[in-house]
Structure 1
Amino acid sequence: MEEGSLSGMSSGASTPEPQAPFTPKFNVRLGDRVTKDGDCVKFTLHVSQNGLTVQVLEREYEDFEYLDHCMTTSQPSHGLIIPPLPQRSAVDPYNAEIQSKRLMGKGSKTLIADEFHKDSHQLQKYLELLLSHPVLGKNEKLHDFLTLKDAPPRTKVKKGLISRLSDSLDARKSSYPDSEEFFQKERDWVTKYQPAIANASDAFNKITFAQLRIGHQLEQIVTALKLSNCPNDVVHNKQFNIINCLFHECMDSIKNETEEKANKEDIMLGTVQMLWNHYIQAESAMLLDRTCLMVDYQSCNRALDKAKPNRKEASSVLQAEKAKKEAEVAFEECSDAARQEIKHFQRQRVQEMQDSVEQYAAYQLTSARTTLNTLSQALNQIKAINL
């Protein structure tokens, strides 16, 4: 039997019933209040139900990490695309300096301020994705995370050597041809799209970093202009100081607008690209998990075919039939769940990316008009000076 075929397989013909619309049990909002004590950062969660606040909680990033671990390990079925946990921002001085040099340039001594507003936005989106998922939204660990005043006890999770070896062996199965055209096309699409969205995210980050560097350089220009005022003892000096004051006020406004533009664009499109970059990796992991189940199913079919001719070993045949049935059920359940997940995933990805790009384009026009207005006002004020 060929590697890509399955004996007696019916998953391709299975048609799961459409799932009823799922309504999240809770709504969650991460407030502006973020406290930092050394390397410990606590976020404030406002949890509401039916429009009424039921809990105001404090959670550390490590609590979110443990929740993510529970989400990925406590699911009863395969075929789910687990929303990705956002990466942790640099909080200690050493990593903050490394990140600042990466953004502002190796020679820069400026430290980028903590971006807790960005972290809060990403973590809120992570919780919203979990809550809106028809399976994950019912998870008891998620319920405890949002209802218990104290965070659920967490344990530090580390992958051991055996686990890493298992992941390495599973990854080798990703090249196996799929038995269903729907999943094969999805796997081919993921292979092409994953590096494309990663490159797009990196390119957008470079634009954001460049704007932050421009803002920093404008700040240096403003400082230099403020220090270049002359004594007001002669008429020409007074006129120079008036023009200089108008110019550095204009540059200061442009600096503030540039920094605000970089931050808003990062939230508007940068974080969305980063989210779906990691989300595609989660889908890839799910597809690999399904491929592993398919390979197991193939192996069980081959084992059963080998056991059937040997009628003397009835126990071996029964054992092979049992293993084949269990592998078949696991594979078909995974395929049915994965088919629904992929369709929902793609609809959500396209809609959110489209909304983000539209908002980004509209904001570009608004921002450009604001900058033009600032420069025009400064120019008109300078022209109005009686020299």
Structure 2
Amino acid sequence: MEGSSAESALSVSANSIRITDLTQDGDVLMFAITSQKLNSSAGVCVFREHEDFEWLQQSLFSQENVPGLQGIIFPPLPPKALPLQSNMQTKALKQLGFLALGQDWQGYCKALEFYLQQVATHPTLCKCKALDSFLINSESPGKQRGRKGIFNRLSQAVEEMRKESHKDVDNFFQNERNKNTNITALSKIATEKLIDVVMTEQKLALACGHFSTSLHLCVNQDDAAAVAFSKVCLKLSDIIEAVKQNFEKVASNNLTTLGLGLDLESRYQEAEKEMLFRRTCKLIELETVKKSTEKAKANKREVMEEFQKAVEKEFNLISSVAKEEIERFHSSRVNVLKNFLIGWCEQQLNTARECAELYSQHLEACRNMYSE
């Protein structure tokens, strides 16, 4: 997920890329992307919508002079955000997962920011001129018509899902395909389970808020007994409010750390799956060409053999690039997940300490109230 720095291919520092602001106009989200010029204190700020990100991704797919492009694991672009409407919540949750649960699209902005950083640190993709244009040109590139890339050329092949079960000639790739299938399924399950946990925490926080508010309705100043009961209700309301705040913080921590990590892991596994499938399609093409060459008549055999060599050369190049990508991917995904897990543990520990301190204060207040 992370690559060795290749910042010299860009006019800005890859590590400085940030999404610092978000504005919403109807259903359109506009993102403010800032970065730092290389060897300069000058900063750059551009405004992009999701259509512009799609243009960038298509430009990465469409590079024609990059050897073995089909062997690259492309950083996955988060799906387009849907408007925050009650009737769209289920669809948004299905499409965006954790990215649809955060407040003010913070998680979504972080995912887009991470996408740009991954492209900018990729040793090959960072050299794409479209990336530099996307990051520094004030004019939006999204309305420019993109060229058809490898995914368009393979759109027909992608529909033939039977090719996914085609046995590979290389045990390395066959084992990788098997592992990817298993990890992809497990990542989706883990993501769905954590989403259930977060949504339950949010519902509990909402219920606590209603309960805390309802306790205020019990306040009565008619007589001494009512006044005493009112004090208990108010103190209990404060305690329930503290419980509510804890649920909110825990849910927020789950979203901004482990949730984003699982979301990224799941989308990257899908990106690797797509790369492995592209290579499988090329393998099937090579095997078909070999069979055609064997059956070719003598007057056409020489031409077919040359064509076979060209396809075989391309397949070997894709396989070579794919192996490097897989090794790089496995090395970096461990570090990325580790960082998300560390962040998750630290935030939850801090929240637990704050909550324990607050509960202690409420407990002491209750003791003082009954000792009076």
TM-score range relative to shorter protein: 0.7 to 0.9
Distance in 2, Cα, partners of 1:236 & 1:260: 36
2:357 matches 1:373: yes
Amino acid across the alignment from 2:159: S
Cα deviation digits, residues 295-329 of structure 1 (max 9, x gap) = 2222222222333xx43x1xx12210221111011
The match for 2:83 is 91
Residue 327 of structure 2 is aligned to residue 336 of structure 1: no
- Residue equivalent to 1:166: 157
Q: How far did residue 330 of structure 1 move? A: 0.7
Identity %: 23
Structure 2 unmatched runs, 5+: 95-99
Change (3 A) 1:155 1:186: same
> How far is the alpha carbon of 1:230 from its aligned partner?
0.9
Q: CA deviation at 1:101?
A: 9.9
Secondary structure, aligned partner of 1:173: helix
- 1:127-158 deviation line (CA, Å, top 9, x unaligned): 11111101111111111110110211436889
Q: 1:181 aligns with which of 171, 175, 181?
A: 171
Find out whether 1:74 has 2:63 as its counterpart.
yes
2:33 is matched by which residue type in structure 1? L
Q: Distance in 2 between matches of 1:61 and 1:147?
A: 16
| 1:14 corresponding residue in structure 2 | none
Q: Counterpart in 2 of 1:346?
A: 330
2:158 maps to a residue whose letter is D
Name the counterpart of 2:208: 218
Q: Would you say the 8 A contact 2:293–2:305 is kept in 1?
A: yes
Q: For residue 220 of structure 1, report the CA deviation from its aligned partner.
A: 0.4
Deviations 1:199-229 (A, max 9, x none): 0111111111111111110110111012221
- 1:178 is displaced (CA, Å) by 1.2
The 2-side partners of 1:163 and 1:321 are apart by: 24
**Alignment correspondent of 2:247:** 258
Identify the residue that residue 203 of structure 1 maps to in structure 2.
Answer: 193
Report the secondary structure of 2:259's partner residue: helix
Aligned counterpart in structure 2 of residue 141 of structure 1, from 130, 133, 156: 130
Q: Which moved more, 1:89-98 or 1:35-44?
A: 89-98
Deviations 1:273-297 (A, max 9, x none): 1111111111011011111111222
Q: Distance in 2 between matches of 1:229 and 1:147?
A: 60
Give, in angstroms, the shift of residue 234 of structure 1: 3.0
Distance, in Å, in 2 between the alignment partners of 1:193 and 1:54 is 40
1:254–1:374: 8 Å Cα contact kept in structure 2? no
Which range is displaced more, 259-268 or 248-257? 248-257
Considering only aligned residues, what root-mean-square deviation do their CA atoms show, in Å?
Answer: 2.8
Deviation at residue 112 of structure 1 after TM alignment: 7.5
Question: Measured at CA, do residues 119 and 113 of structure 1 come closer, stay the same or move farther in structure 2, by a change above 3 Å?
Answer: closer
Distance 1:202 1:318, change over 3 A: same
Judged with a 3 Å threshold, the aligned counterparts in structure 2 of structure 1 residues 59 and 136 are, in CA distance, closer, same or farther, namely same
Cα distance, 1:362 vs. partner?
3.5
Confirm or deny that 1:115 pairs with 2:109: no
Q: Deviations over 1:170-196 (max 9, x none)?
A: x32221211112111101111111111
Gaps of 5+ in 1: 1-19, 103-110
User: With structure 2 as the length reference, what TM-score do the two structures score?
Assistant: 0.86
Are the aligned partners of 2:253 and 2:348 in contact in 1 as well (CA < 8 Å)? Answer: no
Deviations 1:215-271 (A, max 9, x none): 11011011101222112x433333333332222122222212321221122110111
Q: Distance in 2 between matches of 1:224 and 1:184?
A: 60
For the residue of structure 1 that corresponds to 2:70, the secondary structure is: coil
Letter in 1 for 2:5: F
Name the CA distance, whole Å, in 2 between partners of 1:289 and 1:59: 30
Rounded Cα–Cα distance in structure 2 between residues aligned with 1:100 and 1:241: 43
User: Hey, what's the Cα distance between the residues in 2 that align with 1:52 and 1:161?
Assistant: 41
How far apart, in 2, do the equivalents of 1:191 and 1:379 lie?
51
Q: Provide the residue aligned with 1:127 in structure 2.
A: 116
Instruction: Go from structure 1 to structure 2 and tell me whether the alpha carbon gap of 1:119 and 1:162 turns closer, same or farther (over 3 Å shift).
Output: closer
Shift of 1:162: 9.5
* Whole-Å separation in 1 of the counterparts to 2:74 and 2:89: 32
Distance 1:56 1:152, change over 3 A: same
Question: 1:105 aligns to what?
Answer: none
Tell me, in whole angstroms, the C-alpha distance in 1 between the residues paired with 2:137 and 2:103. Answer: 28
Question: What SS does the corresponding residue of 2:159 show, helix, strand or coil?
Answer: helix
Show the counterpart of 1:40. Answer: 28
Please say if residues 222 and 251 of structure 1, whose CA atoms lie closer than 8 Å, have aligned partners that are also in contact.
yes
The 2-side partners of 1:93 and 1:239 are apart by 44
Cα distance 1:221–1:138, how it changes in 2: closer, same or farther (>3 A)? same
Preserved contact between residue 4 and residue 122 of structure 2 (Cα < 8 Å): no
- 2:97 aligned partner: none
Question: After superposition, where does 1:42-57 map in structure 2 within 5 Å?
Answer: 42-50=30-38, 52-57=41-46
* Number of residue pairs aligned between Structure 1 and Structure 2: 352
Structure showing greater radius of gyration is 1
Is it true that 1:65 corresponds to 2:51 in the alignment?
no
Distance 1:38 1:296 in 2: 47
- Pairing partner for 1:244 from 221, 233, 244: 233
Map of 1:228-377 to 2, 5 A cutoff?
A: 228-231=218-221, 233-307=222-296, 310-311=297-298, 313=299, 316-377=300-361
